Amino acid sequence: MTHETNLKPNNNPSKQIIVLKTKMMPQDIKAVLNAKKTSLFGSTLRRPKPDEIKIENPQLFLEQIIFVSGNYDVNFNRDVSYSIKVDSDVREVTIGNKQFPIVNESGVWKKMKHGVGMTKQDLKISVTEKAVKNSTDSLYLDSHGLETTFPYSINSENIENHSQRVLDINKEHIRKNKIDNDEVFSKLGQKFKDSVPQGIEINHEDFTITEFLEIFVPIYETECYDKNKKVAIARIDAVTGTFL
């Protein structure tokens, strides 16, 4: 059995929807913008004055992050070679029904035994190993479908109690990727496939999804203009107040 090009999970997990709480209010956001807005234009040495920059009213968006984790168990064969030391007078070694000739002399490897030097030589044995690998892994995908990090804690203090209601209220300001569930699972499956050696023969593999979350992160976004009507987009994390 060879490795499948698309590793599919053996289960069909349900997806849990989570919305992080918006902890920054619009007035808080404006304070952050006023402190940071000049950094959006010019350079460190030449920036506009704060009063030259106009800020539109910030709008709140809910941006999707997908989290998926899983287990991967694989049983496989791999071809390897071992070199062992044998005495200098050995010409062939039989293991089971196979004969292994001595391929070459190794040179000066000596072991002292009763005061006598004994020169050894190499025996190379090619065998097939049966091995197993058990691993766990996970990934986060942002609203563009790209792998990302997740700096938030998911606990009762940070998540909305009625996630779907919040999504319904903000339905015009939701940003989601266009990747379907199968594509998400395939990306995690590819991470597992990349972790096993190349050129092996798969005897059996088992891929299971253990957790599947759709998380929505509140982000404030607004347009800023300098005196030359140049536009810059400012983004602020509504959970932490971080200027993105």
When computed from its CA atoms, the radius of gyration of the chain, rounded to whole angstroms, is 31
pLDDT digits (tens, 9 = 90+) for 226-242: 888 888 888 999 998 88
Whether 36 and 189 have beta carbons less than 8 Å apart is answered as no
Tokens 């913008």 correspond to what residue?
Answer: 33
| Residues 12/229, Cβ–Cβ less than 8 Å | no
What pLDDT is stored for residue 166 in this prediction?
Answer: 93
First to last CA, the chain: 48
Question: What is the C-alpha to C-alpha distance for residues 191 and 149, in angstroms, rounded to an integer?
Answer: 16
| C-alpha dist (Å) from residue 105 to 83, 126, 134 | 12, 17, 39
Domains of the chain by residue range: 16-72+133-237, 77-129
3-state secondary structure of 56: coil
What does DSSP say about strands 116-141 and 110-113: parallel, antiparallel, or unpaired? antiparallel
**E strands along 6-58, which residues?**
16-19, 54-55
Q: Beta-strand (E) ranges in 88-170?
A: 92-95, 98-101, 110-113, 116-141, 147-148
* pLDDT for res 244: 83
Asked if 189 and 135 count as a contact pair (C-beta separation under 8 A), the reply is no
What pLDDT does residue 113 have?
A: 42
pLDDT below 50 — which residues of the chain?
Answer: 1-4, 105-116
Residue among 2, 162, 14, 142 at smallest CA distance from 66: 142
Cα–Cα distance list, 17 to 117, 121, 154, 211 (Å): 73, 65, 12, 12
At 210 the pLDDT is: 97
What are the helix and strand counts (H, E) for the chain? 3, 11
Which pLDDT value is given to residue 138?
Answer: 96
